[in-house]
Amino acid sequence: MNQPQIGVQMYTLRDPAEKDFVGTLERVSRMGFAGVEFAGYFDLKAKDLKAVLERLNLAPAGSHRSYDQLLGELEEHTDYALELGLTHLICPYARFDTDAEWLDLAARLETVAQTLKKSGITLSYHNHDHELTQKIGGQTVLDAILEAAPSMSAELDVAWLEVGGYSAAEYLNKYAARAHLVHLKDYGREGDKVSTLELGRGLTALPAALEAATGAQWWLIEQDYCAGDPFDSLQISLEWLKAN
């Protein structure tokens, strides 16, 4: 197995990025990350962002685009991705109450995935825990939408899989051929409250997940909420990952 590259999901750094996007990317580069997965472009044109990434020797690992953007503004986001050099677009979040709504989304995302594939771009879906706790006909929502959208890949988030009550390693084994991007985070639980933590500091079965992700091209460290400075949290997680 080729060793995946290590990147950061920029949602972790949304607050400093909003104040100084380029400066935040410069700091990510100095920390030793190989690439970034975007959660917004902060009004930078694709050619300008590409120049920044090339200067900093950062690869564009992927980009989160909302399902509204993917369904309603696909050409615009495809053009941006192609100019930037992205080969992965990801639907980062969806939440519905009914089976019909979920299956409608899956059908629409399948069409998007087929369209993007013609441009050499892979579409993935990023899970949280509710796609595991909600069921459609005895399947988890995650399984159901991935079955209904076979052209779509899975950006599996190891912590949210386990918060949802499932083994991250088992899901990574099951979808090894479709899990090119893997979100790494740790979590803690106090009663019903779940907190996201630095790698190695929580309950996620991380070693088993790392071993199971045989199709991963990128390990993407993400921490939804950090108790302190998010750069400090990322440094702790990066050091843990390199050591393990």
Q: How far apart are CA 164 and CA 134, in angstroms?
A: 9
Q: How far apart are CA 225 and CA 195, in angstroms?
A: 8
Q: How far apart are CA 202 and CA 199, in angstroms?
A: 7
Q: How far apart are CA 63 and CA 70, in angstroms?
A: 11
Over the range 136-145, which residues count as b (16 or more CB within 10 Å of their CB) and which as e? Answer: beeebbbbbb
* Range of the structural domain that residue 233 is part of: 5-243
Q: What are phi and psi of 227, to 5 degrees?
A: -70, -30
- Residue 31: name the closest of 243, 241, 238, 240 by CA: 238
Report if pTM > 0.85.
yes
Per-residue pLDDT 10s for the chain (244 aa) are 578 999 999 999 999 999 999 999 999 999 999 999 999 999 999 999 999 999 999 999 999 999 999 999 999 999 999 999 999 999 999 999 999 999 999 999 999 999 999 999 999 999 999 999 999 999 999 999 999 999 999 999 999 999 999 999 999 999 999 999 999 999 999 999 999 999 999 999 999 999 999 999 999 999 999 999 999 999 999 999 999 9
Number of domains in the chain: 1
CATH number at residue 9: 3.20.20.150
